[in-house]
Structure 1
Amino acid sequence: MRFVPDGRRYAGLLLAAAPIATVLATPIAGLAFVVAGAATLHFFRDPPRSPPPSGVVSPADGRVSVVREEGDQLRVGVFMNVTDVHVNRAPVSGSVREVEHVPGAHRPAFSKDSDKNERVHVRIDAAETAAAGEPGPLDGTEVELTQIAGAFARRIHPWVEPGAEVERGDRVGHIAFGSRADVLFPPAVDRPHLRVETGDTVRAGESVLADVPTDEDGRGRNF
């Protein structure tokens, strides 16, 4: 099993403290450190994912908590509980144009007030959205991934920088302890193209959030 580097460090400290606690306190205290270390590793797990042949994929594991219109654009937000994998993945292939950190509050990520939370915007100029190696209808348009901190998350870790090339489903960052990841679609994507609704359970890099129009009459298809 692969783990986020921070997780190995935190878990290592807890596991190293277990024998000390056993000697200086009680075996129960030592066991508590072992359990805490194992729980930390579980939280920071980073399992492999296999993107489907086509589709804008979910950036996070969890439950779809937001589906709303913002002007002529659609936003889909995925709430990550503490038991979910918190590694975020690229929804589309393309070039990272900008990574912007916005300071803010740390309210529960499932609440309406979370729109004012600390966040990181990863803006991707989409490419190859129709199929692997082929031009697509979103090519050159911006797809925005937003990592939103939660009530207990104090650090958002983007793993990409401007100019980086990413493939759909690539790891692009990590947030800790309950948070949210949103995709803001370009105007070409409308509600009929969505393949999820509020309450659906999704997996990062594997679950398809939306299709896109491929011709002038706006019909969609998996890409």
Structure 2
Amino acid sequence: MAATRLLVEDLETIIKEWIMKRLILVPMLVIGFSFAALAQQPSEQRAALTDAAIAFDTKAAPALEARLRTQVLNGSDDSPVTNVKIAVKNVTSSFYTYVSGWATFYDSNAVRCGEGVFKLDALAPQESAEVDTPGLRLRCAPSTWRIVATNLMTRTADIAQVVATQPPPVEAVVERPAPVNFIISIDGEQHPIQVNNPIVLKLGNRNRKIVLKPVP
């Protein structure tokens, strides 16, 4: 009995250790896959003030290109810059009916020191337009900046339409006339017959096949 009890206790210990290892391993795998997925998603990179900043669409393709039009950007906590002009270009082949996003600025230590919203009601493919950034409070002399698109609405004509396939043609059904019954009378002996439905009659010493056909 003692040996059996020890064996059961050993089995319980082994099972508990196996379960604990699995409980630790599963969250680690989930976290690892999450980091891998995030690493595969491109993010908008910071650019120098003299360079173009690129914003991506939901498919991770370049959608907007922006350049600063305002040259003097010397903000501070006491005297923040409240607006800048940027030129936004649609670098896609789609017509955007509405575009909006954020323009964010960073100081020399890569610390964010201001952000403003930009909006455009329409932007054709390869078209550029100047826009303000209302709500901006730039509290530094930035060295880099970036833009992020929050809305990229396309017109309906640019969206691929699903072509409805036509159903296959219905084959014409040839109506067959209802069979017409006839009677063949041979020496008073009657034999029913239908059109194109042969019958065999014994005439004399031989069997004869009789077929009734319509005249075209």
TM tier, smaller? under 0.3
TM-score of the two chains, using structure 1 as the length reference: 0.24
Larger RCO of the pair (alpha carbons < 8 Å, separation 6+): 1
TM-score of the two chains, using structure 2 as the length reference: 0.25
